[in-house]
């Protein structure tokens, strides 16, 4: 293998304290049947053995370039550094604790790059492992049927469809035409939790050819002890408001915020607000029942909440439950439901099975 002056794909891997997983992630790229790529890894000031592992990997393959940082700057800054150095026609991302099956890039090339798509999107396998990351407990495949779209309004409609199918909010299941990123000077923001989502909304504005590849050969790996539902964020509702407005504005700007698309966008927003109520149940919040009740009351009165109570229409059992509770406009019912969901999320996978 030799490094091309102008590879077709640049794969970017931010790595921070990833000593247990980063080798597997990088080696999954080196095993790809399609090799017209470069691999840029950002070593983001790790305090464990990540750096020596990456030094060894960099010496082993001409495809690998490592950017070493002495201070941890965060995921978004790492990705931005990788994009600045990228030379590929397309940019893809791989998280340091994930991996790809050996023929994924080959499928991306055949079904997306050869069609000259601006954005190529694929499905993934969501692998939930035990806390020690030694065994996969649950593996759920997430994918959509293959298609190729060139009509702008239909492409924007698919943003909502993809979000409903849990395929919009990430970067690691997408391959972006680098020239569009460069021409628009697109970068990842430092916004907590939704930096990928905001980037995708910006990029979606630029594309005129979208390819969806029906495959789930990217493995998104999380240990059961790492569930986001257990983490408390005091500004979670505000973050979800930013998320809602970003995709709403994208739909409005292309005159598709109506009918099924509006129903989908509103349902997803409600689901995330219910998830926020469950997060507030965490002992880390320090919230009393009175404070949680007041936060819900204030939330239900917002203009976005009122709008979504009117237009939301569920597409699965989880959304039906969330919509029913939220549309009741009852502070007590939302409070009790959030408490129940928090217990389900932290003690079992029962809520996940409602999807």
Model pLDDT for residues 292-324, shown as the tens digit of each residue: 999 999 999 999 999 999 999 998 888 999 999
What average pLDDT does range 186-202 have in this prediction? 96
Query: Three-class SS of residue 178?
Result: helix
Contact in structure between 29 and 11 (CB atoms under 8 Å): yes
Instruction: Give CA–CA dist 176/192, Å, rounded.
Output: 22
- Residue 213: which of 101, 110, 100 has the closest Cα? 110
Model pLDDT for residues 51-74, shown as the tens digit of each residue: 999 999 999 999 999 999 999 999
Is the pLDDT reported for residue 4 higher than 90?
no
Contact in structure between 284 and 235 (CB atoms under 8 Å): no
Query: Could you state, in order of their start, the residue ranges of all structural domains in the chain?
Result: 9-226, 229-354
Is the pLDDT reported for residue 97 higher than 80?
yes
pLDDT at 250: 98
What average pLDDT does range 15-29 have in this prediction? 97
Contacts with 352 (C-beta within 8 Å, 6 or more apart), sequence order? 138
174: left (phi over 0), alpha (psi -120 to 50) or beta: beta
Give the pLDDT band (50/70/90) at residue 349: low
Instruction: Give CA–CA dist 175/162, Å, rounded.
Output: 15
pLDDT at 348: 54
pTM for the whole thing? 0.94
CATH of domain 9-226: 3.90.550.10
């Amino acid at each position: 293998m030799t490094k091309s002056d102008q590879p077709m794909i640049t794969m970017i891997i931010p790595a921070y304290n990833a000593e247990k997983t980063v080798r597997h992630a990088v080696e999954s790229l080196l095993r790809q049947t399609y090799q017209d790529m470069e691999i840029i890894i950002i070593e983001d000031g790790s305090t464990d053995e990540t750096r020596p592992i990456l030094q060894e990997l960099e010496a082993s393959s001409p495809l690998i370039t490592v950017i070493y940082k002495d201070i941890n700057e965060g995921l978004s800054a790492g990705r931005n550094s990788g994009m600045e150095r990228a030379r590929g026609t397309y940019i893809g991302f791989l998280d340091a604790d994930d991996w790809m099956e050996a023929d994924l890039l080959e499928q991306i090339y055949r079904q997306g790059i050869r069609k000259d798509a601006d954005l190529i999107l694929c499905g993934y396998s969501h692998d939930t492992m035990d806390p020690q990351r030694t065994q996969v407990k649950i593996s759920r495949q997430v994918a959509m049927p293959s298609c190729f779209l060139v009509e702008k309004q239909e492409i924007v409609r698919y943003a909502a469809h993809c979000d409903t199918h849990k395929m919009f909010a990430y970067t690691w299941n997408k391959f972006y035409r680098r020239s569009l990123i460069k021409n628009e000077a697109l970068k990842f923001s430092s916004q907590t939790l939704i930096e990928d989502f905001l980037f995708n909304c910006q990029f979606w504005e630029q594309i005129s050819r979208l390819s969806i590849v029906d495959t789930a050969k990217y493995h998104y790996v999380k240990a059961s002890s790492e569930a986001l539902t257990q983490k408390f964020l005091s500004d979670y509702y505000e973050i979800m408001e930013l998320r809602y407005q970003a995709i709403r504005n994208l739909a409005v700007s292309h005159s598709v915020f109506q009918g099924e698309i509006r129903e989908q966008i509103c349902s997803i927003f409600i689901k995330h607000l219910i998830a926020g109520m469950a997060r507030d149940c965490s002992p880390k919040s320090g919230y009393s029942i009175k404070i949680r009740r007041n936060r819900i009351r204030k939330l239900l009165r917002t203009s976005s909440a009122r709008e979504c109570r009117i237009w939301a229409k569920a597409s699965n059992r989880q959304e039906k439950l969330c919509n029913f509770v939220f549309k009741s406009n009852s502070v007590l019912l939302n409070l009790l439901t959030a408490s129940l969901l928090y217990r389900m999320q932290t003690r079992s996978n029962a809520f996940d099975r409602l999807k």
